[in-house]
Amino acid sequence: MPMPSHSRKIILVSSRDDLLTLAGQLRAQGFDILNCEDGARALEMALTTGPALMILETDLALLPASRLAQILRANPRTEGIAFVFIGREGEEVDGFQRHRDQFFVRPFNQEQLLGALLAYCRRLEQTRQVGCEEQEVEGHLNQISLVDLLQIFSLNRKDGLLTLRHGDRQGSIALLGGLVCNARLGRLQGEKAFFRMLAWTEGTFHFRPGVSGEEARITTPTDHLIMEGLRQQDELAAQAHALPHPEDKLVLKVPNGHLPRGLRPATQEILLLLQYYHRVGDILDHCSRPDLEVLQILQVLLDKGLLGAAPRTAEDDDDRQLLSSEEIIAIKDSLGEGDILLEEASAKLVVLANSPADLNYVLDALQGIREFEPEGELLRHPGQLPLGDVGRLKISENFSVRLFCLPTDAEKTPLWRPFCRRLLGVLSLGGSSGTARAEEFFRHHSDAPVVPLAGAVPRPGVLRLEPGDRQGLRQLLHAFAEPFRSPVELTLSSTG
């Protein structure tokens, strides 16, 4: 099958009979084979002819194979050459790049090696054809790997957005001048999202050329980024038996005040997340650090006895949603979104708090509730009383309840009105005059229920929520949803 001249040009650096026989077989397949016996001559030929591929012995004379590859990769004219090394079992090649290079052990089977080389060349050609396209292109990752795509886009200095689909997951990688500048996968962005998608070997891709407008969250050169991602994949695979499993559930076994001082920022971030998430997979999804680093830190904390397996709770056996489908439909219909029920929507739950301790009471009650996702700023600045978003309850795939904290001091009064829109309900903590004034404001300016909730200081006859009380939270949300189904007066039982 005819192939473009660049793809047909191969330099074979060897004087051994088995590889010279292979050269004849490749010529029969339509390849242009150039042959030499030492590294110095191979360097000269590569700089002169610009081959697509070099097949070389690891024990070259005059110029070692690893040094030859290093020199050619440093030259913009030859940086795209692919290398196939032939050597002894267990031999290591300095600078070997798993995502670009091939290594075959001698003695080898001629037919198997020929088949592997032909498949490799076909993949290189497919990738180059994609890189030369000026319009949108798409394909399958099992035919052209993500690594190959990124390398050819880099060589061609492409701008655009690469969208990837793997099962029910979808992510994107933004390119600027051929370099990866950002990656998105669900709520993840940056290098962490990129490293996760780098492991996808099945699925589809779609590339749309043009400047994406993405904020540059990745500044690492693409080759280094790929190598680091593959290194982490290899280490995760090698250490899998010794690291926590994503489905494991962990808890802190010592009070926060007894933790060692001077902990690394990554460890501090993970300990904060453990206040809200017990499942390892959730910690991985919400931590900004790479998955390998998170798992290694969790294992160290387990080894030191600071973490332990979480005891089984009633929530583990409770798969019911916090709101029923009928309640979600009624809320969305009331918000004017009844005709777009399959699209994502949200409603507000306002928390009126007098102090950080009041807000922490609510957040403590949400610990262990798998649907709760705290706002990132809240994790970075614990102990403060923020104005605005503190997290969300991901009730279903297309509906969330967003929690907003509103201080009740008088100077914040002008900020209350915008929070009356799309309001599910109001939780009121504390018993100050400011709280009473805020309660009256929301009763007057919205139809949403206002529910007093015991805060940092317990109040007789006022509803309490205990940490991880899924049933209590469900009852509270049902009560908030009831007026959307039938406008009746809200009643809640309370405990002393």
pLDDT in the model for residue 90? 80
Taking the C-alpha atoms of 209, 215, 219 and 223 in order, what is their torsion angle to the nearest 10 degrees?
A: -30
- With CA atoms as reference, report the closest residue to 162 among 132, 142, 139: 139
CA distances to 7, 20, 37 from 14, in Å = 20, 7, 5
Q: Tell me, what amino acid is at 427?
A: L
Average pLDDT of the residues in 419-445? 87
pLDDT of 5 reads 45
* Alpha carbon distance 53, 48 (integer Å): 14
HSE (side-chain half, CA atoms, 13 Å) at 264? 10
Under the banding of pLDDT at 50, 70 and 90, the label for residue 489 is very low
Asked if residues 81 and 155 have their Cβ atoms less than 8 Å apart, the reply is: no
pLDDT in tens, 237-268: 999 899 999 989 898 888 777 777 788 889 98
The pLDDT of 448-471, averaged and rounded, is: 80
Structure token digits, residue 213: 């407008």
Asked, as a colleague might, if the bond just before 290 is cis with ω within 30 of 0, I would say: no
Query: pLDDT tens digit string along 64-100?
Result: 888 888 898 888 788 878 889 998 888 888 878 776 7
Share of the chain above pLDDT 70, in %: 88
Vertex 304 angle, CA 299 and 307, to 5°: 65
In this structure, the number of other CB atoms found within 10 A of the CB of residue 118 comes to: 14
Please state, rounded to an integer, the average pLDDT across all residues of the chain. Answer: 83
Percent of the chain exceeding pLDDT 90 equals 23
Between 211 and 89, name the one with better pLDDT.
89
Tokens of 46: 């590569």
Q: What is the Cα–Cα distance from 225 to 235, expressed in whole angstroms?
A: 15
Question: Do β-strands 137-140 and 204-209 pair in parallel, antiparallel, or remain unpaired?
Answer: antiparallel
Q: Is the pLDDT of residue 138 over 50?
A: yes
Distance CA 121, CA 128 (A): 10
Q: Can you give the pLDDT at residue 356? A: 84
Q: What is the DSSP letter of 37?
A: S
For the stretch 144-165, what's the b/e string if a residue is b when 16 or more beta carbons lie within 10 angstroms of its beta carbon?
bbbbbbbbbbbeeebbbbbbbe
The alpha carbon of residue 442 and the mean position of all alpha carbons in its chain are separated, in whole angstroms, by 39
Q: How confident is the model at residue 128 (pLDDT cuts 50, 70, 90)?
A: low
Distances (CA, A) of 391 to 17, 214, 284, 343, 405: 68, 24, 17, 20, 10
What is the average pLDDT across 179-204?
92
Of 337, 349, 435, which is closest to residue 391 (Cα–Cα)? 349
Q: Which of 451, 442, 440, 456 is nearest to 475 (CA)?
A: 451
For residue 339, pLDDT over 50 is answered with no
How are the residues of the chain apportioned to helix, strand and coil, as percentages rounded to the nearest 5?
40, 20, 35
Give the bridge partners for 429, in sequence order. 453
Residue 32 CB contacts under 8 Å (≥ 6 apart), including other chains: 5, 8, 9, 10
Strand-pair partners of 189: 184
Selected residue with higher pLDDT from 24 and 319:
24
State the pTM of this model. 0.60
